[in-house]
Structure 1
């Protein structure tokens, strides 16, 4: 890789301390907003300067990408990177390195760290940590509580507000109707939520009191818990005419709720709800435990069809690392969540290989759609003027996921032993190569994502 000593970037997007650099990527099949074309892409410092650039132009580096596809950097809009407070599981350095390997060039991180991110001051503290440690671009949600509505209404430089409508991890439960009504009525930022109905979950816990069978986790956090909370959140969004994003759809029953969106509602699916189900408990045990829980194989199929039909717009990971020692505790002492950032793109590229979807659809779900949902400026597409967050993928590369090769600090994957076809092989963040075929440039630092919420979200005609 290029010597990293000349590539350190200041966190102000307009200022790069690094020597300006021009890179020409030629002979790739490039996924453009209009389709796949064989064109050359010119990167000038941090931006895409030209698509279909002249091959003879003077540049600092020419990348011959014959046989590969060039896609925009993936935007993962739901991750838990555990810093501050729980860095024995993960930190911004290890997590962002795993992102670079997986083709993720921008992450949006959740507020349930220790302390929780519920004030503008804590948002600023997290951005400062990321500026120091993150190899890729970043953004941070502000978490809702019944007491911090003024902070929510004044917050800027954030993708939006995260509500836990149902307890998952940490102490951010907002379950009272009065508090939810106020949050939807008195704030302007887009809202997203973990939707599992708390009363349903607690009633089911009482039914299964004393169980040590992790498969009961899907009976406790069942379809009814998810559907009840999602329906409640959608009602709030429609009545208050407030943009709302449904995180980690886990049931086929939720798909019907998402079809009548009125331009306000978007939703996402995660790999574990697409590709794993209750039949995997005997094989994976507590490694499969997640909130919301995995459901049936039929739910997998219905969620996939929701993606294909457009009822669900985004694929994200809900990357939630825990150590193997923690995960191997007997249920219910075992924590919920699993890592996924370095394998999520490959899991979807494997679906391209299996002819279950197209590469253009994967790029929409993982790159363009999250940029549109969260009003991220300059990201999600390969187009002139956009940020040069780019990934070369080899659609024919076969590789087995192995725990011992995982970059995430927790060092394991629920897909250990599975061979996938289609992998990212090179990643650029703001025009600087951060990853190439197993090698990293640790000197690279990402930038804070910029949000223009006046754009109007996914359903706006202009992106």
Structure 2
């Protein structure tokens, strides 16, 4: 067995900041404590001085578009998971709107093989719903969840017919999450004819409808990328009625608004769109009603973004944590909030017992950051294949120094050091 001691760091444990040493044996956390001594059975061990650094759990991002198979010029399992590690994300969930889509046993198996060969962080994959695959999708227990597109977005996974929607809700096992892109397709098309791009009513109509489906069927509905305070109000009211619903917000909707979209041009185009300032600030004011923060990392090349028909999508894996740590510095949230939104709750909701917190026997997935270092986000040096971020030029406080995944240092001082294939598919269920 291999023992590693991380000495002198500050650990975020159970919402508290502790100065303690951390012991790792093989892939897992053995324990932590002040002036921790190695157990007597270990004659040899490695010691790493992490004084001055704060140690958080590795982040779990449940909403990532890795683009493989079919659009590897934008991203693939290697570049996307390298970007994840550079952003302290040690577990990603890949979305199924690929080419071909991940909607069958065969396509899921093919995607798993690709990810097994290339991924440098741990991963899970969603199965996508179609108009006619409810039973097969429900049978794919090795998918981390079902993804439904009630409104159209990148790809062709639109499920806009009630018969198909209710079939998926009824077929999906009670213990599986149904993650939904919640925009009403009829409203999207109606307003497009009037020259309006996906106004807030599209999301509100869909959210209200989906909450009714979840209430009637008893399924666990997870609403992706919420963008308005009205959606959060509907979700809060549903939770109070006992509806099994959770939701996420994305960093670009927390930090950017419609004025930023005008400034950024096609680089600020996303689905759902950036909202006006009252809705952006409303997300911050009602964060207590949000369950997760997830990137919706959706890379496109510069050439695509600058074309006559720019696709919707914003990359975010490498910028989420710096933005959130800056919010901590500014007093808008606590370190405990960051850990809860990006690690503990995602791991709990998606039943990942090995992930999400610093506890004995958990995977040693760790983020080591300097909370005091101020630096400037830039397009230069990004791991994501698209090579740009809408946050370029923004000053942030808090910088990653090391990332550990299952007991191994996989990112150190600006470089990913994990080899392709080190990432493993996550196991939902009981801890190992």
Q: Normalising TM by the smaller chain, what interval?
A: over 0.9
| Corresponding residue number in structure 1 for 2:189 | 202
Q: Which moved more, 1:437-446 or 1:276-285?
A: 437-446
What is residue 294 of structure 2 aligned with on the other side?
316
Native 8 Å contact 1:403 1:413 kept in 2: yes
Q: Could you say what secondary structure the match of 2:380 adopts?
A: helix
Write the deviation string for residues 244-296 of structure 1: whole angstroms up to 9, x where unpaired: 11100011110101113125111000011100000112320110000000101
Which residue number in structure 2 is paired with residue 76 of structure 1? 61
Q: Does 1:432 align with 2:417?
A: no
Which residue is equivalent to 2:74? Answer: 89
User: Could you tell me whether the CA contact under 8 Å between 1:377 and 1:449 is conserved in 2?
Assistant: no
CA RMSD of superposed structures (Å): 1.4
Match for residue 328 of structure 1? 306
Conservation of the 8 A alpha-carbon contact between 1:252 and 1:303: yes
> Does 2:144 align with 1:159?
yes
Report the alpha carbon displacement of residue 34 of structure 1 after superposing the two structures with TM: 4.8
Asked whether the equivalents of residues 258 and 312 of structure 1 are also in contact (C-alpha less than 8 Å), the reply is: no
Q: Does 1:246 align with 2:246?
A: no
| Residues 102 and 247 of structure 1, relative CA distance in 2, 3 Å threshold | same
Alpha-carbon displacement from aligned partner over 1:370-416 (angstroms, at most 9, x marks no partner): 11111112100000010111110111111111112211000000001
User: What are the residue-to-residue correspondences of 1:120-139 with 2, within 5 Å?
Assistant: 120-139=105-124
Please give the alpha-carbon distance, in whole angstroms, between the structure 1 residues aligned to 2:166 and 2:370: 48
Aligned partners of 1:71 and 1:390 also within 8 Å: yes
Farther-moved stretch of structure 1 (36-45 vs 360-369)? 36-45
- C-alpha contact 2:57 2:366 (8 A) present in aligned 1: yes
Distance 2:130 2:262 in 1: 37
- Partner of residue 126, structure 2: 141
1, 4, 11: which one aligns with 1:30: 11
Aligned twin of 2:249: 269
Partner of 1:113: 98
1:61, CA displacement in angstroms? 2.0
Q: Distance in 2 between matches of 1:259 and 1:395?
A: 33
Aligned residue in 2 for 1:11: none
CA distance in 1, matches of 2:45, 2:88: 23
Give the structure 2 partner of residue 55 of structure 1: 36
Match of 1:193 among 180, 183, 188: 180
- TM-aligned CA deviation for residue 300 of structure 1: 1.1
- Residues 56 and 372 of structure 1: is their aligned pair in 2 closer, same or farther, counting only changes over 3 Å? closer
Q: CA deviation at 1:148?
A: 0.7
Structure 1 runs of 4+ aligned residues shifted over 4 Å read none
Quick one: distance in 2 between partners of 1:182 and 1:380? 32
TM-score with structure 1 length normalisation?
0.89
Deviation at 1:440, TM superposition (A): 2.1
Q: Which sections of structure 1, spanning at least 5 residues, go unmatched? A: 1-19, 209-218, 456-463
- Report the Cα offset of residue 119 of structure 1: 1.1
Asked if the contact 1:164–1:195 (Cα under 8 Å) also holds between the matched residues in 2, the reply is yes
Superposed CA offset, 1:323-382 (max 9, x none): 01110123xx11000111011111100100111110010000000011111111210000
Return 5+ residue gaps in structure 2 as ranges: none
Question: What CA deviation, in whole Å up to 9, does each residue of 1:220-253 have, x standing for no partner?
Answer: 2111001111111111111100001110001111
Name 2:282's counterpart in structure 1: 302
Q: In structure 2, what is the equivalent of residue 408 of structure 1?
A: 384
TM-score, normalised to structure 2's length?
A: 0.95
SS in 2 for 1:24: strand
Deviation of 1:53 after TM superposition, in Å, equals: 7.0
Residue 46 (str. 1) matches residue 27 (str. 2): yes
* Structure 1 residue 447 displacement after superposition: 1.2
1:213 is matched with which residue?
none
In 2, Cα distance between equivalents of 1:183 and 1:43: 42
Could you tell me how far apart the structure 2 residues matched to 1:130 and 1:122 are? 12
Contact 1:48 1:382 in 2 (8 A): yes
Asked whether the equivalents of residues 63 and 296 of structure 2 are also in contact (C-alpha less than 8 Å), the reply is yes
Distance 2:53 2:243 in 1: 36
Structure 1 residues 363 and 34: CA distance shift in structure 2, 3 A: closer
Q: Which residue of 2 aligns with 1:177?
A: 162
Q: 2:324 aligns with which of 348, 356, 370?
A: 348
Q: Is the 8 A contact 2:19 2:34 kept in 1?
A: no
The answer for the alignment partner of 1:12 in structure 2 is none
Structure 1 position 286 matched with structure 2 position 266? yes
- Given that 2:183 and 2:204 are in contact with CA atoms closer than 8 Å, whether structure 1 keeps it comes out as yes
1:367 counterpart = 2:343: yes
Matching residue within 416, 423, 432 for 1:446: 423
Aligned length in residues: 421
